[in-house]
Amino acid sequence: MKTWIMLAALPIVLTLQIAPLAHAQFGRLGGMLNKTVDGVSNTAKDIGDASKEMMEGPPPEEQRAELQETRTKALAKLYKQDPSLENELASAQGYAVFSNIGINLLLVSTQRGGGILRDNRSGDDIYMSLFSAGGGIGLGVKEYAAIFVFHTDAAINQFATEGWDFSGQADVKAQYKEDGDGAETAVSAMPGTSLYQLTESGLAAQVTLQGTKFWKNSDLN
């Protein structure tokens, strides 16, 4: 009888002894799992923040400063190629410079980029956006700079307020022609506007605007 009672009580004793150990083990396991979950959550948050920053791009003040710097470099390269163009730009109603020379790749990924329209009448800078696809401006070129020179009020006003949209046009090209002295001058697909495109090798013989859209950047102005 005593033996039966002892055997019957044994599971209870073992349970009472094992239960605290199991509880402690599960507690440690739970803590480890919580730390793991927290780590995964923090990593996911970091990745999400980084992705958001990449999608939104640098802060506006950094983008404006970078566009100002690329404009300076592009104009210096243009004037070195043809010094007479400095006077042409200065005497025009205004000019716009779109360039990827020395620019952060984030701003020109998937052929998205920006530029600055200088209104010589007021001295104001207007920040513009650019999207190019389907063989448009700057595609397939490591370094490019597109400079638009506006000779009439109508031309610069339209560009500043409405932008240009060649995304739905099959073939829009501007070709250079030679004047009497053999120098090249630009002609444009838009009235009242001259267009120059610089590449690593100098002035391009032809500029394709097909699939390209320009518009005022509401975030930078």
Residue pLDDT, tens place only, 79-92 = 998 999 999 999 99
27 with 116, same domain: the answer is: no
Structural domain total, the chain:
2
105 with 176, same domain: the answer is: yes
49 with 158, same domain: the answer is: no
Residue 100 has pLDDT above 80, yes or no: no
204 with 107, same domain: the answer is: yes
Residue 207 has pLDDT above 70, yes or no: no
pLDDT score at 97:
95
In a domain, 211, yes or no: yes
Residue 221 has pLDDT above 70, yes or no: yes
In a domain, 196, yes or no: yes
Q: How confident is the model at residue 179 (pLDDT cuts 50, 70, 90)?
A: very low
Closest CA to 86 of 128, 138, 149: 149
C-alpha dist (Å) from residue 215 to 30, 79, 131, 221: 55, 26, 9, 12
Name the most confidently modeled range: 55-69, 147-161, 178-192, 196-210. Answer: 147-161
Facing residues of 215 across strands?
129
Query: In whole angstroms, what is the distance from residue 221 CA to residue 204 CA?
Result: 31
Domain boundary among 39, 56, 73: 56
pTM: 0.66
Closest CA to 143 of 83, 221, 91, 197: 197
In a domain, 221, yes or no: no
Counting Cβ atoms within 10 Å, is residue 71 exposed (0-12), middle (13-18) or buried (19+)? Answer: buried
70 with 150, same domain: the answer is: yes
Query: In whole angstroms, what is the distance from residue 209 CA to residue 213 CA?
Result: 8
DSSP summary character for residue 217: -
44 with 120, same domain: the answer is: no
108 with 193, same domain: the answer is: yes
66 with 52, same domain: the answer is: no
Domain boundary among 40, 56, 72: 56
Q: How confident is the model at residue 5 (pLDDT cuts 50, 70, 90)?
A: very low
Q: What sign does the dihedral 26-32-36-37 (CA atoms) show?
A: positive
Long-range contacts, 178-182 (Cβ 8 Å, 24+): none
In a domain, 169, yes or no: yes
Name the most confidently modeled range: 19-28, 144-153, 167-176, 194-203. Answer: 144-153
Residue 213 has pLDDT above 80, yes or no: yes
In a domain, 191, yes or no: yes
Query: In whole angstroms, what is the distance from residue 219 CA to residue 149 CA?
Result: 24
Q: What sign does the dihedral 147-85-181-200 (CA atoms) show?
A: negative
pLDDT score at 108:
42
Average pLDDT over residues 139-157: 84
Judged by average pLDDT, the poorest of 32-41, 45-54, 61-70, 193-202 is 45-54
Q: Which carries the bigger pLDDT value, residue 56 or residue 120?
A: 120
According to DSSP, the β-strands at 173-178 and 184-186 are antiparallel
**Residues spanned by the domain of 80:** 58-216
50 with 64, same domain: the answer is: no
In a domain, 79, yes or no: yes
Q: How confident is the model at residue 182 (pLDDT cuts 50, 70, 90)?
A: very low
In a domain, 140, yes or no: yes
159 with 66, same domain: the answer is: yes
Counting Cβ atoms within 10 Å, is residue 97 exposed (0-12), middle (13-18) or buried (19+)? Answer: buried
118 with 29, same domain: the answer is: no
pLDDT score at 113:
81
Q: Which carries the bigger pLDDT value, residue 49 or residue 127?
A: 127
96 with 17, same domain: the answer is: no
pLDDT score at 209:
73
